[in-house]
Amino acid sequence: AQTVTQSQPEMSVQEAETVTLSCTYDTSESNYYLFWYKQPPSRQMILVIRQEAYKQQNATENRFSVNFQKAAKSFSLKISDSQLGDTAMYFCAFMEYGNKLVFGAGTILRVKS
Amino acid sequence: EPEVTQTPSHQVTQMGQEVILRCVPISNHLYFYWYRQILGQKVEFLVSFYNNEISEKSEIFDDQFSVERPDGSNFTLKIRSTKLEDSAMYFCASSEGGAGTDTQYFGPGTRLTVL
C-alpha cells in the first residue's frame, strides 16, 4: 500500500521569508500524481499545486514551487515570500490508478508577522 | 469559478440515528469521492463513485455507509446508524476524468457530531 510521510508536524516562518515543507512517499508504481493541499482554519481543502511523476520539470504556481525527486521519492513544497494568509495545515497527497488520494499526516505552518 | 458545495455545514445527531450528507459536485465532473477527517488526524479515503456505481471503497466504508446520486446534480453519503466514532469532517470531492489524470476538487466539508 502507498504511504505518504510528512516528517514535520509544525513549522514557523517569518512573513516574507521562504519555507520548505517535506514529504516522502512510497510506491512501486512509475506513473502517479502528487499534490499539495492547504487546509486553513476554516478546514476547507484547497489545492495548492500538483506534479505528474512523468514530468521532470518541477511544478510552480506563483509563490509555490515543488522539488520533485522521483528516485528519492521526495516531494517538497517551497513557499516564497510567505504571507500571513499562508498559515494553514498543509497536506501532501499521492494518487495513482483508481483515483484514490492517499494523504500524509500534515504539517501545520504558522507565518509570523 | 465552479466549486463543490456541501450541505449542511454542521450536523449534530444522536448515536444510532441516520444521517445524509449532501454534495453538489462541479457540473461537468464525472468522478465523485467522499473522504473523512477525524479531528487532528489525516484525511482518509472512503469511497469513489463513477457511472452510478462504486469504483472503490476503503475498509472504513462498511455496511453502515452508502452513497447515491439521486439526480443529475446531488451526490449523497448516508450513514445508517451513527456511532460516536463517526464524528468527523466529511469532505466531498469531484474530478473531471479518471484513471489518475485529473485533480480532485474538494467541497468545504460537513462537520458531523455524534452525541
Residue A80 Cα, gap to closest chain B Cα (Å): 24
Q: Which residues of A touch chain B, with CB atoms under 8 Å apart? A: 31-33, 35, 37, 42-47, 50, 91, 93, 95-106
Is the pLDDT reported for residue A30 higher than 90?
Answer: no
How far are the Cα atoms of A8, A10, A38, B34, B73 from residue A106, in angstroms, in the given order? 8, 9, 9, 19, 32
| More confident: A27 or B92 | B92
Q: Phi/psi at B29 (nearest 5 deg)?
A: -85, 150
- Model confidence at A96, pLDDT cuts 50, 70, 90, reads confident
Number of A/B CB contacts below 8 angstroms equals 66
pLDDT in tens, B69-89: 988 789 999 999 999 999 999
**Residue A15 is placed in which grid cell?**
512573513
pLDDT in tens, B95-108: 987 655 578 999 99
Q: Which residues 6+ apart lie within 8 Å of A66 measured at CB?
A: A34, A36, A49, A51, A58, A59, A60, A75, A76, A77, A78
**DSSP bridge partners of A59:** none
Identify the residue with better confidence: A97 or B91: B91
Mutation target vs A (from B58, B104, B105, B110; most A CBs, 10 A cutoff): B104
Identify the pLDDT of residue B114: 97
| Mean pLDDT of the A37-46 span | 90
Contact B33, B6 (CB under 8 A): no
Residues 6+ apart with CB under 8 A from B58: A100, B44, B45, B46, B47
With a cut of 80, say whether residue A28 has pLDDT above it: yes
